[in-house]
C-alpha cells in the first residue's frame, strides 16, 4: 500500500449558484508514485429520504473486502438544496485495472442486483466518476 500525505486547507465553494460555504479540501500527495484508482458514484436523494438511503447502505451485503485490489469504501453526504441531498460513494482501489476487473465480475453483478428496488429515494440515476492518481 502506498503512503499518502494529506494537506487540509479551506476553500470557499459556491454550490448551485445559491449557497456559498467554506469547506475543507484534502489534497492527496502520493509519496511513492503508486497509481491508485478512485471510483465515485454521485446520488441525488429525495428530501426526507436520507435516513432510508443511509440505512440501505448500512445494511447492504457487501463482498468488496474479498475483491482483489479493493482498499476502502465511504458513503459521504454533501449539501441539500430545495430538491435533493447529494451523496457520493467513494471507493479506493490498488489500480484502475483492479476496479475494471471488479466491474466485470460476478461480485459486481451481485452487488448491483437490486439497484432499482428503492427507486423512490433517488432523483435520477447515479453518476459515475473514475479517477487515477496523477501526481
pLDDT tens, position by position, 69-128: 999 999 999 999 999 999 999 999 998 889 899 999 988 888 778 777 888 999 998 999
**Residue with grid cell 430545495, as numbered in its chain:** 82
Helix (H) or strand (E) segment spanning residue 132: strand 127-132
Partner residues linked to 37 by β-bridges:
93, 132
Return the percentage of the chain with pLDDT > 90, whole number.
33
What's the pLDDT score for residue 35? 66
Give the contacts of 28 (CB within 8 A, at least 6 positions apart): 4, 5, 6, 133
**pLDDT exceeds 80 at position 3:** no
What's the pLDDT score for residue 135? 75
Reported in sequence order, the residue ranges of 2-116 that DSSP labels E, i.e. its strands, are 4-15, 19-30, 37-46, 70-80, 84-93
Residues 63, 65, 67, CA angle at the centre, nearest 5°? 80
What's the pLDDT score for residue 122? 94
Which residue pairs from 71-79 have beta carbons closer than 8 angstroms and sit at least 24 positions apart in sequence?
A: 71/1, 71/36, 77/50, 79/15, 79/19, 79/21
Higher-confidence residue of 113 and 9: namely 113
Of 16-20, 53-57, 89-93, 117-121, least confident by mean pLDDT is: 16-20
Strands 37-46 and 127-132: antiparallel
Question: What is the domain partition of the chain in residue ranges?
Answer: 33-132
pTM (two decimals): 0.70
Q: Are 44 and 83 in contact (CB under 8 A)?
A: yes
Mean pLDDT value of segment 48-77: 90
According to CATH, what is the number of the domain 33-132? 3.30.70.100
How far CA 84 is from CA of 1, 29, 81, 90, 114, in Å, comes to: 37, 33, 6, 19, 22
Amino acid at each position: 500500500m502506498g503512503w499518502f500525505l494529506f494537506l487540509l486547507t479551506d476553500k470557499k465553494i459556491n454550490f448551485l449558484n445559491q449557497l456559498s460555504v467554506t469547506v475543507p479540501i484534502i489534497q492527496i500527495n502520493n509519496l511513492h508514485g503508486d497509481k491508485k484508482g478512485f471510483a465515485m458514484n454521485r446520488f441525488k436523494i429525495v428530501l426526507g429520504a436520507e435516513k432510508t438511503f443511509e440505512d440501505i447502505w448500512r445494511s447492504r451485503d457487501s463482498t468488496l473486502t474479498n475483491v482483489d485490489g479493493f482498499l476502502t469504501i465511504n458513503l459521504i453526504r454533501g449539501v441539500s438544496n430545495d430538491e435533493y441531498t447529494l451523496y457520493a460513494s467513494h471507493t479506493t482501489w490498488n489500480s484502475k485495472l483492479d476496479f475494471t476487473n471488479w466491474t466485470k465480475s460476478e461480485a459486481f453483478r451481485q452487488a448491483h442486483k437490486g439497484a432499482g428496488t428503492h427507486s423512490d429515494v433517488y432523483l435520477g440515476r447515479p453518476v459515475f466518476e473514475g479517477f487515477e492518481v496523477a501526481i
